[in-house]
Amino acid sequence: MTATLTPPRQEPTVTPRFSGMKVTQARVILSEWTKFRSLRSTLITLLVSVALTVGLGTLISAVTASHWPQTAAAERAGFNAVVTSLDGVHISQLAVGVLGVLLLSGEYATGMIRASLTAVPKRLPVLWAKLSVFTGVVGVVSIVSTVIAFFLGQAMLSSQHLQVTIGSPDALRMVLGAGVYLLLVGLIGMALGGLLRNTAAGISSLVALFFVIPPVLDLLPKSWANNIGPYLPSNAGEAFWGNPSGAHLSALGGLFVLLGWTAAAIAAAAVRLKRQDA
């Protein structure tokens, strides 16, 4: 009896629906934009930052105007109408920074980052896409909020004839600079989220860098404070967009220092993303 050999059954080949689609930076950006706008926490945090920038700036301007007749001469001499209307930035920077941390650390917490990196094996395009979306959205929102805060603040100050126009010396630089500052704080927060890959650690580091270390440094010997303090990101930002007469660095110098902090944080996050698995 002769045995008949039956050839092994051939399974049908299934071609993935999107296998022919090339992974491009534009498509990765579109994917990150979809994730960005689909998160409710993103919209809420962004609205909180706008409310703080505009609401606090307007409130502080109104209170300043109402108390102006009782204000001491020394305080009047140091008064700056633009800074007063933008005082909300000092608090709203925390909301923007936290938003940046959450956008990266949140993906590590949920495990979604693994799906993103599987779809984009080169990894770094994912980071560039997240940074691009964040810069486009938060940059526009931050600048618009500082512009609104300026005009509402000047309207409040006008009751005591303390207002200035957008064409006044340094006014436009300070208004736009405050919006750019908020964006850079958010980018540093995003980099910390990607570097530390933990939400609590990222937010704690952000708070320490911008809110804890600067006042602690003032308790150290004056030489330390004078040599180190101006180069902290919060103080450099103050020189960039704040009162030009009260800063150790020039406005341009403050911007360069702040950009240096941002670039260093992003570079560190990129190196870890490239070298270590999620």
95-122 pLDDT, tens digit each: 999 999 999 998 888 888 888 888 888 8
pTM for the whole thing? 0.88
Q: What per-residue confidence (pLDDT) applies to 13?
A: 43
Instruction: State the residue for tokens 């094996």.
Output: 121
Q: What per-residue confidence (pLDDT) applies to 149?
A: 97
Domain boundaries, the chain: 25-68+78-275
Q: What per-residue confidence (pLDDT) applies to 11?
A: 41
DSSP characters over 133-179: HHHHHHHHHHHHHHHHHHHHHHHHHGGGT----TTSTTHHHHHHHHH
Instruction: State the residue for tokens 């941390």.
Output: 101
Q: Which tops the pLDDT comparison, 204 or 23?
A: 204
> What value, to the nearest 5°, has the Cα angle with vertex 72 and ends 65 and 148?
25
Is it the case that residue 6 has pLDDT exceeding 60?
no
210-258 pLDDT, tens digit each: 999 998 988 888 888 888 888 999 999 999 998 665 557 888 999 999 9
Q: What per-residue confidence (pLDDT) applies to 15?
A: 39
Q: What per-residue confidence (pLDDT) applies to 108?
A: 87
Q: Is the four-CA dihedral 64, 68, 70, 75 of positive or negative sign?
A: positive
Which helix H or strand E contains 267, and what residues bound it? helix 251-275
- Distance of alpha carbon 253 from alpha carbon 106, whole angstroms: 34
pLDDT band at 71 (very low <50, low <70, confident <90, very high): confident
